[in-house]
Structure 1
Amino acid sequence: MQFYIYLFLFPIMFAYDCQDICNITLSITENTLVEKLTWNLLDLLSNRTSLYEYLQFSLSKPSNEFELNSTILKYRLLELDREKICQNISINDECSLQLEIFTQTSIIIIFKMIIIDENDWKPFFSQEYIHLNIQENRAINYRIQLPIAYDYDSMKYNIDHYEFLNNTDEIERIFQIEEFHGELRLKLIKKLDCESKNNYQLYIIAIDKGGFKSNILHVNITVGDLNEYQPRFTQRIYHTSIPENFLTINSSLSPILQIIAIDDDCYDKTILYTILNNDMPNDIFPFEIDKYTGSIRVKHKLDYETISTYRFRVKASNLDHITSSIVPIVIDILDRNDNQPSIQINILNEYKPMENNDEDVIININEHIHPGQVIGTILIRDIDSAMINYRLSLKILSCFPLTVSCPIDLDSEIENNTFSSTTYIIRTSRQLNSEQGDETFIIILEASDYGNPSLSSQRRLIVHVNDENDCVPKFTQSNYQFRLSHLSPVDFLIGQVHANDDDHSPNYRLIQYKLLEDNNQDIIRIDENNGYLFIAKQSLLETTFNLTVLAIDRHNHSLYDQANVQIILFDTTKCTAMFRQTIYIFNTTEHQTTPYEIGQVNVDDCGLSSIPISYHLMHDNSLSLFPFILDSHSGTIKVISELDREIQSSYKFYIHLFNSTSQTEVHINILDQNDHYPIFDDIHEQYIYISTHQYYHQTNKRFIAHVHATDPDDDINGLVNYYFTHKEHYDYFHIYSNGSIILYNLFDIHLPITLEMYARDQGYPEALRSKDTVIIYVCDIFKQNECPSNKLRRNFYLGSIIIMICVVLFLLIIILCIIWNLF
């Protein structure tokens, strides 16, 4: 017979009638107090056998859970914990402790304590954090296994279900927890999109049947990316501008352009940049790109004049190079003023030499070329852009020798259609004369641009003035007289006639002497090379020969001079002293230091040194101070006071021989020296009003004014040229040798402009500059109030008004004082 015994409310005992084996089963709720887990075996067996009172008990073997003391069976552990006691059993197995107890009789007691479970364990996940990688675009209902939660309680109180702790609408639409055959799985109910969201955090808990909740299972879901998007540039085209001297003012590491591409994929965002350039080899292509950052840098020197715009493409691709995009790049190179203007000189063929070198330009011109004659052009080019160099100019920097004025002038009369070039005309500036020192000129031309900073270049121009055979031979005297004995033998030297040729070239100074035909050539002969006269045939008679001698230019027989020669054959016994020449001509320059000798007259004393010679000077007594004296014994003429050609340019007087009827005429010419400065004739200040608008003029040139200066010096010493004091005025104005001032360049001119001019002669050996200058104010006719003259006039008017007010007040005070004294 079986029966149940309930102890301490929860324990339940099952007892059966027993003969040899007596089974005692107790059901005890876990966590019952240990103090209550004590049983008296006699009480347990009292209704099972009649001999229970006489039984003695002992354990069949030692027990860790129980101890037996006489009839008292006691639970010896500190607590009754089903999960500890039965930790190795399945959740469906019964948890119990069994004990065999022997008696002195043959009865064996089987004591079994069934431990009834309580919900005293919470569910738990063995790992709290897991990471899942789910590829985007997985099919709906795709499942991935999750770790399950554990609960040591029995099936009655074990895990009931799982749920999301953060169950938002988003998670609910995408994920679902699924339990299947003891497994926990995560189910996709919607496809994942990495580009929309690439990470999810799921918090999962387990809840047992008793309502206990487990710890949180943190599920970190990374959405795996598919390379479905190609890189996308932030701009359709990249365009920038950099100066051509970028490497000079910046480091080679400095970026000039930042290329940015974006990849809409989640994780494959590493983009590699590559320059695509099919037009130029990479070793000379001036740009490079950082393949990771997209920064474009300059690696080679840039030159606007070579390439002003670079067009190429940049490719952006992913690491796998599956997808890529291309964007165009435009880089404009900004010009900088880094090129000097070039000077190209074109000379007309008739003025070119047979040979020329590359460095110097040589011009050959004849001395009698007309002033203002065009001999060539000069083209100034600058390969820098017109935005940088909006204007070019050319000037004569120097002209050697400095003692004479420059033989050429530059005239910008040719208009160009572009700003990058300017053409000047080379003209002769004055009358040239090789006999006056015009031989070889070394001219330095300087071309300048108007960039920032301004650059310039120079070119040397060599002008050779060719001497022309233009000078007529001139005898030193127009009349010669020679006296000799009528007994002079054949080949006796009578004397010499001499002519000079002032041509500069020695070849053109060669003279041939001839006697006029049928002119006593049988008696007198002449050496054609040196002009010596000889006796060709002895006469033996006292007579006089009158000859005409020609001095002929050997290269141009049309150039010649003639002189009269009188040869007197005398009887030495009847001879009287006579002057050798009827006219003596002497030349001297003005302003020499006195006294000095100017020349000497000669007398033919018939070879008789015993004849006394005495000279006497005769001149016009109207001269208050005669500047010459004569040595009565030697015939030497001296200058004793300063000569001035501008006061008197020549002198004429006579010299007599004492006790003789012979006399000679003396001419003294005063040669000019450049001793006078040019002097302006007109007023020294003018105001000119012009319009710079093309509407009012049919040409770009404007006549401004005319200036004139005089120089009383002779020849080139008195020839005047005009110049601007400030060289920058040549960029807009031109002043001609006749004093005309022309405005030829209207581009970027700002009026008013103050022109200051000076005059300089062409004196030799040193040119003189005027002491005074002429000032011309060039003003805009539409802005007369900006002209200095109007400002001065306004100041004058204002000063006059103030003075008048002061005078009126003074008179008023005097009147008031008079009235006060009277009354």
Structure 2
Amino acid sequence: MTKRMGYRDWRWLAIWWHHFFLLWSTIDGQTRYTISEELKQGSVVGNLAKDLGLGLSEVFDRKLRVASEAGKQYFNVDAGKGELVVNERIDRETLCGQSASCVLPLQVVIENPLQLHRIEVEIRDINDNSPSFLTKELTVKIVELTVAGTRFPLESAEDPDAGSNSLKSYTISKDECFTLKVKELGNGKKIPELVLEKPLDREKKSVHKLLLTALDGGTPVRSGTAEITITVLDVNDNFPVFEKSVYKVSIHENSAKGTFMIKLKATDIDEGQNGEIKFSFGERTPASVLSTFNMDPDTGDLFLKGDLDFERATTYDIDITARDKGIPEMEGHCRVQVEVIDVNDNSPEIVLTSQPNPVRENAPSGTVVALISARDLDSGNNGKVTLQLPRGYPFSLKPSFSNNYALVTSGVLDRESFSEYNIEITATDSGSPPLTTKKTIPVTIIDVNDNPPKFSQPFYNVYLKENGLPGSMLSSVSASDLDFGENAKISYSILDSKAQDVSVSSYVYMNTDNGSIYSMHSFDYEKLKVFQILVQAKDHGSPSLSSNATVHVFILDQNDNAPAVIYPSAALGSLSHQKMPRSAKAGYLVTKVTAVDADSGHNAWISYKLVEATDTSLFSVNLYTGEVRTKRAVSEQDDSSQRLLIDIQDDGEPVQSATVTLAILVEDGLHELISDLRQKAPEPSKKSGRITLYLIISLASVSVLSLVTFVILAVKCVRNSRSSGSCCMRRDDLDGYKNPNRNLQIQLNTDGPIKYVEVLGEDMLSQSQSFRSCLSPMSEFSDFTFVKPSSTTDFKEMINVLDASLPDSAWTFESQQVSTVVTCSLIVTLGY
């Protein structure tokens, strides 16, 4: 029973593949081999490598392998010779039953790069099976009144072989009452029939024994036998007769159990019990039929008892017997042919012929990712399968042949956006309603170095106090890379650049791993106020990518410079000698102490304080200008020698200070002496008169120039203060006025609340002049003061101190050389 079902299954499968490969061969040429069944393991089928155009080295390197769709691996590839060999014993009858053609399709998969070939192996039949009867002893009951010529169907023999090796004929042993006839059905099946040649006489011979022999067409001929025992019955001489010898019925495979199929009718012309009929299945009905169908013995109704499966069996041949109740029993026979109609009850199947390969993100369109095939066990439209991919994926399916496809790239891949795709492939058949199957294929995207490192910000501002410890960390920069692995590892470095003609790398160094920047020595605000560090982040990809960022380092001033006294000069000692007339009134300007601080901001705000005095009621010092004035008129009782100790402090933290000691000589009749000298002085010559004229013109020019400068400066300060609150002009904005010699220099310091202008004049061979005006927000007026001249050498040192202390925002104006010595005091009041 089981063998018959296997035969039908493989017969259907072989026919399906036969038609499939007949269709394929018309489209695509393919390799075909022919072998006999039952070959030993290791038998050579053909040189597969040669037929596919491959070298022996490619067989191993490209991993040539064979995949069978028959469920078993009947063949394998000899990697050393490239030959297709038998892997296990092949039984043609198990594979294809009695089909005329038995072709086993194989898939040949070649990797690196992926290729798929189809080959066919035709299995030829050998005569390895003898015909056999299911029942070795057959029993036939025949009424003695049976008319000559009556036929009695006998059991058919089965031969699994095909073609000429299959069952060909029957013979029977000699008997005067019986002969043998063979009846051929429409499907090619041969049924032996026992023919009664003359009436039987039970009284002469009640039992006849015959030997039935089945012969096949092989060489040598194989045969099988069955013994027939014929019992001659008496009396009941009519047997039931069916309306048809063959009934045909169709039923869908998804029909429910208990479905009515057909009603069989038979008649018996006898009367009484000899005419009463009961229906039953034939004695040799297979168990598969008995478990699937059911017969009502009284009515002849045929019902569905079990489950039908078109993919397991497409047709059933059912032998039905109608027996009467006579003695002996008489029976009639018919056959019911059941055709199973296919319904779409099998979902399509998606098969991965090869596992998906990882894809580089810069792979071109059309790169093969995986090989896929689809199949459906149903037939007709129910077995036609289409594959679809979801929209929005950069992949597509490229059909190759039949239901085989290649999954290829169809768009731009970006690992940083999607590092892995789970591609859901949908397979849908053409049945009604259609059935769908989904399969997810993971595809990994391999990273390439296509993203440069990116700093968290393009510019970094670092504020560093001067006089810091070497080796301290200034700042830390960070960059990120969207790539993966080595392509995302970042190294930091400092690009070569200069600050004040010195390489930046001599100031700082950088940790290449984490981007931390450290100082290499201490910084001095008075020498270096700001510099830039150009840093680079480079990944470890091949080729590597990089990006730059700029770090602005601002040095913050510390109060590390004490005020320096410019006037009165202490070049000859710490004591400065001054003179004043005893006739001086209250508010008389005795002298003016001038000091500068090399620091900036609050650290450079200078205040003057009188800490000691011979007579504290006589003198006062202006807190912001340093002017020493009389608080009252000098009297005759005041000492002629006065000593003042003035403390000069900045506004830094901690406070830096300096002191200056003034020795003031109060003289009587100083004005009268000057008048007498003027009266007694001889008349100047014409030459000295010209010099005097020149001096007056020079002084007037300087005064007018200073006045114009202050007016322009005051206007700019008023305008700019509304928006920025400071007056600032860069030196490079006045490049058109520069002279190679430092002659007359006007500087405006706008650093902090104390604002002052200094006018410096220098002759290369003579003494220098210094004019300083302090604009203090603490007062409502400003003074422009000519400071007494000092030596050229001392004045140059003072200029150096001023240059170091003034910020880059200070502005400079230079005029022509002034070669004269002027000692005077000019007060210019400006609105602030």
Larger radius of gyration: 1
Q: TM-score, normalised by structure 2?
A: 0.37
Comparing both structures, which one devotes a greater share of its residues to helix? Answer: 2
